[in-house]
């Protein structure tokens, strides 16, 4: 029997909020895709960005795409999800095209993080490769040892630090994203760390809980030794499975993580629409927040 949706043109909606049943719907899309997001992640898109959705005539959400604007310069496109029984009907393409059209109208450069399969699809839409990162996973706790460099103090992020942390992040990321970081802060307290040298921030780390594993990132630091010390402090305090999305260029930190139980899950390519020049500082960007947030 054909569904009601199959016999009529699906309608696209922009969702300013989600009802409890709609939150269940998008949670089901995440579970079916074996992704890691929780309700707290969807709330970030609703509060700070835009969530595009396609519901059935009965109101069940069966496809989504989300955008997050950053600093009037660029915007992330992510959460491109379609329920298995509704795939290959062009729903994801419709959502993507609408999102790109709206970002173009706002003079924002669309940016996304693509899996190898997705990369070919996005290239046909006009996206170009910029740089890559790898998702790594540690499945169980292992003891680490990486002391902070001389003169550097590691400690938990405090409210008094927050404004300076967000400013330090903005300089490395290429745009201010304090509200997004605030949506992560406190979700994985052992990962909320700052590195200080002579009362100046020289690195920081945040993290968050997830459906499959906790997730470290962003990791922004002045050098490899500081980044390694921040990660090691978090690794020793967090039990269970743990993701980190590590820039391909950070080979020294990659060797450290490999030696402490991390393995590759999948690669990602950061792509920009009709451009390839990156916005962020490659020297200080060690690990990203994730492909959903940048």
Which position has the token pair 């949670």?
27
Task: Tell me the mean pLDDT in the region 201-211.
Answer: 98
Percentage of residues in the chain having pLDDT higher than 90? 85
Distances (CA, A) of 10 to 20, 56, 98, 100, 106: 22, 7, 14, 19, 26
The verdict on whether omega for the bond into residue 218 sits within 30 degrees of 0, i.e. cis, is yes
Of the candidates 76, 69, 34, 75, the residue with the CA atom closest to the CA atom of residue 291: 76
Q: pLDDT tens digits, residue range 220-246?
A: 999 999 999 999 999 999 999 999 999
E-strand stretches of the chain: 13-15, 50-55, 61-70, 74-82, 109-114, 127-138, 152-156, 193-197, 200-208, 214-221, 242-247, 262-273, 285-287
Question: For residue 86, what is the enclosing H or E element?
Answer: none
* 3 has a pLDDT exceeding 80: no
| 232 membership: H or E segment, kind and range | helix 224-237
Number of H helices, E strands in the chain: 8, 13
Q: In the prediction, which pLDDT does 31 show?
A: 96
Residue 169 has pLDDT above 50, yes or no: yes
pLDDT band at 6 (very low <50, low <70, confident <90, very high): very low
pLDDT over 50 (residue 1): no
Q: Which residues contact 135 (CB under 8 A, 6 or more apart)?
A: 243, 244, 245, 264, 265, 266, 267, 268
Angle at 74 (CA atoms; ends 164, 203), nearest 5 degrees: 25
Question: Identical fold at 13-107 and 135-268+275-287?
Answer: yes
Q: What's the topology of domain 13-107?
A: Aminopeptidase (3.40.630)
Mean pLDDT rounded to a whole number for the chain: 93
Which tokens hold the place of 110? 């669309």
Mean of pLDDT values over 82-104: 92
Q: Which of 3.40.190.10, 3.20.20.70, 3.40.630.90, 3.40.47.10 is the CATH number of 135-268+275-287?
A: 3.40.630.90
Average pLDDT over residues 110-133: 94
With beta carbons less than 8 A apart as the criterion, state whether 115 and 268 touch: yes
Task: Give the start-to-end residue ranges of the domains of the chain.
Answer: 13-107, 135-268+275-287
Confidence band, pLDDT 50/70/90 cuts, at residue 85: very high
**Which pTM was predicted?**
0.93
198/213 Cα distance (integer angstroms): 35
Instruction: Read off the pLDDT band of 9 (50, 70, 90).
Output: low
pLDDT value of position 147: 82
pLDDT at 283 over 70: yes
pLDDT at 82 over 90: yes
Task: Count other C-beta atoms under 10 Å from residue 199's C-beta.
Answer: 7
End-to-end CA separation in angstroms for the chain: 41
Mean pLDDT computed over 179-208: 97
Does the pLDDT at position 290 exceed 80? Answer: yes
What is the pLDDT at residue 2?
37
Please give the pLDDT value at position 26: 96
């Amino acid at each position: 029997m054909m569904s009601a949706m199959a016999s009529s043109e699906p309608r696209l909606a922009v969702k300013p909020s989600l009802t409890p049943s709609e939150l269940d719907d998008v949670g089901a899309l995440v579970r079916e895709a074996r992704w890691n997001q929780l309700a707290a992640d969807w709330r970030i898109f609703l509060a700070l960005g835009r969530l595009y959705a396609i519901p059935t005539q009965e109101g069940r959400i069966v496809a989504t795409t989300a955008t997050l604007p950053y600093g009037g310069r660029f915007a992330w496109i992510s959460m491109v999800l379609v329920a298995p029984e509704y795939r290959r009907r062009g729903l994801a393409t419709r959502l993507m095209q609408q999102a790109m059209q709206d970002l173009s109208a706002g003079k924002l450069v669309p940016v996304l993080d693509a899996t190898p399969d997705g990369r070919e699809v996005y290239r046909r839409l006009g996206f170009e490769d910029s740089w890559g990162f790898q998702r790594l996973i540690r499945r169980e706790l292992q003891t680490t040892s990486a002391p902070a460099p001389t003169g550097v103090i590691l400690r938990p992020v405090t409210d008094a630090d927050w404004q300076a942390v967000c400013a330090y992040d903005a300089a490395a990321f290429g745009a201010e994203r304090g509200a997004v970081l605030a949506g992560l802060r406190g979700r994985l307290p052992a990962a909320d760390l700052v590195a200080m040298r002579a009362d100046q921030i020289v690195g920081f780390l945040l993290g968050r809980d997830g459906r499959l594993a906790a997730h470290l990132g962003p990791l922004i630091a002045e050098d490899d030794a500081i980044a390694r010390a921040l990660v090691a402090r978090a690794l020793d305090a967090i039990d269970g499975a743990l993701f980190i999305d590590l820039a391909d260029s950070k080979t020294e930190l990659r060797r450290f993580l490999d030696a402490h139980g991390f393995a590759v899950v999948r690669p990602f390519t950061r792509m920009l629409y009709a451009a390839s020049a990156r916005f962020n500082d490659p020297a200080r960007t060690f690990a990203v927040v994730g492909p959903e947030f940048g």
